[in-house]
Homo-oligomer: A and B are copies of this chain.
Amino acid sequence: MTPQERFAHNLRRRRVAVGISQEELGERTELHRTEISLLERAGREPRFATLLKLAGALGATPNELCAGTGWDHEQRRFTVEDPTGD
């Protein structure tokens, strides 16, 4: 599991919890609907502004979408936990 995949899961779960479609999220974030799709399938990594938009549109904080991801600068590698069980 990569941080990107962890993020993708967090994003989809959050969107479904809020109860909106990918297209609706696309409108709220001013991102294209195919971009939302890619992000949720871990086919793409968001940049800073994209992360802010997603968090804002879903009523979440960046941390919530980043949940379970981290960087160990001593080991020089990403760390990925599974905080919610999927």
Contact surface of A with B, Cβ cutoff 8 Å: 3-4, 7, 28-30, 45-49, 51-53, 55-57, 61-63, 66, 69-73, 76, 78
Contact = CB atoms under 8 A, between A and B. Distances in A.
Q: Is the interface of A mostly helix, strand, loop or mixed?
A: helix
Contact of A45 (B48, B72, B78): B48
Contacts of A76: 30
Contacts of A73: 28-29, 53, 56-57
A6 to B, nearest CB: 10
Contacts of A30: 76
Nearest to A65: B62
A2 to B, nearest CB: 9
Contacts of A47: 45-48
